[in-house]
A = this chain, B = another copy of it.
Amino acid sequence: MPSENNLSFEEAMTKLERIVEKLEEGDVPLEEAISIYKEGMELSKLCHDKLKSVEEQLTQIITEDGSTESFSIDEED
């Protein structure tokens, strides 16, 4: 399922949520349920990985001239 790797965290979560709901509703035929389950597990792993492996994002500021600079606050005070 290589396409799923391109999903954003949000998309993956949304898909996962839907899958969970669908499975919990119980109306899915057994054979389909197992394939949905498989997909759900992969999505869950994807989300999990995304949360786990993220580096901290930069904070930036838009300057007067419209360019973007990194911004840091004085953590002190």
Interface residues of A (CB under 8 A from B): 8-10, 29-31, 33-34, 37-38, 41, 44-45, 48, 50-52, 54, 57-58, 61, 65, 67-68, 71-73, 75
Which 3 pairs from chain A and chain B are nearest by CB?
A: A9-B30, A45-B68, A34-B54
Closest to A57 in B: B34
For the complex, what is the distance from the CA of A61 to the CA of B45, rounded to whole Å? Answer: 11
Whether A72 touches B58, Cβ cut-off 8 Å, given contacts A8-B31, A9-B30, A31-B8, is: no
For the complex, what is the distance from the CA of A54 to the CA of B45, rounded to whole Å? Answer: 20
Contacts of A31 in B (CB 8 A): 8-9, 50, 54
Question: Could you tell me if A54 and B30 are in contact, using CB atoms closer than 8 angstroms?
Answer: yes
